[in-house]
Amino acid sequence: MGREIEQLASADPALEIAARASSTGFFDPPQKLAGQTVLIDFSNPDLCAQSLEFSRLHGLPMVIGTTGLDDCLQRQVDASAVHVPICQAANFSVGVNLLLKLVADVAGALTASDFDVEISEIHHRRKVDAPSGTALALGRAVADARGRRHEDLAAFDRHATKSARPEGQIGYQAVRGGDVAGEHTVYFLGSGERLELAHRATDRVIFAKGALRAARWLVGRPPGLYSMADVLGVGRV
């Protein structure tokens, strides 16, 4: 993702890469990082924590695309958003964020007693976390729309389960292999009918485009925790 974002930014005359970062820190002096500078983080939880600290120290807006954050790190994100504007999303694709809205609308209209929900996702062999952050976001959209806690409904492994599927459960399947950019399907499974809502990414550049769109949108915003729904103006799920 870093390479994709850098290529797009380098090709846009309105954008400039002010600094780059790695596990050892930022390569350019902090005095360069001012004005309309936005920090974009697509890394891993440990590096994301460093980026959060740097963002607060220098008062930089931040785009967070890193997934797999634990509760402690998410609390750090929430705390940082009191001081700087942050746009955090499990997926920066325009299509996926519209899918989140559609899934919430459908989940609210179809009762858990009549329609079961299963979420399937496929990613390339190098992806570490499973299920994907996007799959979990889709599941949370379902749970929220039905007025339930996602933690009470999520099922990640049925291997040891010797019972029928409970009402309201949200099941997950994760597939890893090849170079798949990302595919997500939400199944609403009823008696005699099935509704499928899906998004398939064929090029990771869509995520980079979305991240840069979010970065532009953040400039001048007051501190707060924003989502791609805010950036797109489609309303929060």
Q: pLDDT, tens digit, for every residue of 101-142?
A: 999 999 999 999 999 999 999 999 999 889 998 999 999 999
> How far is it, in rounded angstroms, from Cα 179 to Cα 89?
22
Average pLDDT over residues 192-211: 95
Cβ-based neighbours of 100, under 8 Å, separated by 6 or more: 137, 138, 141, 229, 237
HSE-CB at 28 with a 13 A cutoff on CA atoms is 11
Cβ–Cβ under 8 Å, residues 190 and 212: no
Let me know if 19 is exposed, middle or buried by CB neighbors in 10 A (0-12, 13-18, 19+).
Answer: middle
> How far is it, in rounded angstroms, from Cα 188 to Cα 190?
7
> How far is it, in rounded angstroms, from Cα 222 to Cα 58?
15
Statement: residue 30 has pLDDT above 60: no
Statement: residue 187 has pLDDT above 70: yes
DSSP state of 58: H
Which of 32, 83, 101, 123 is an active site residue?
123
61 is written with which tokens? 């807006």
162 catalytic? Reply is no
Statement: residue 34 has pLDDT above 70: no
Query: Which tops the pLDDT comparison, 19 or 122?
Result: 122
Per DSSP bridges, beta strands 25-26 and 21-22 are: antiparallel
Which of 127, 159, 199, 209 is an active site residue?
127
Look up tokens 């997950």; give the residue: 172
pLDDT recorded at residue 162: 83
On average, the pLDDT of the chain sits at 91
Q: pLDDT, tens digit, for every residue of 138-163?
A: 999 999 999 999 999 999 988 888 88
Q: pLDDT, tens digit, for every residue of 44-89?
A: 898 999 999 989 988 999 999 998 899 999 999 999 999 999 999 9
Look up tokens 């209209």; give the residue: 109
Q: pLDDT, tens digit, for every residue of 89-106?
A: 988 999 999 999 999 999
> How far is it, in rounded angstroms, from Cα 231 to Cα 227?
7
In the chain the beta strands, taken as DSSP E runs, fall at 21-22, 25-26, 39-41, 62-64, 85-88, 116-123, 154-155, 170-176, 182-189, 194-201, 224-226
The pTM score is: 0.79
Statement: residue 237 has pLDDT above 70: no
Cβ-based neighbours of 31, under 8 Å, separated by 6 or more: none
Q: How confident is the model at residue 23 (pLDDT cuts 50, 70, 90)?
A: low
Across the beta sheet with 85-88, the strand order is 39-41, 62-64, 85-88, 224-226
150 catalytic? Reply is no
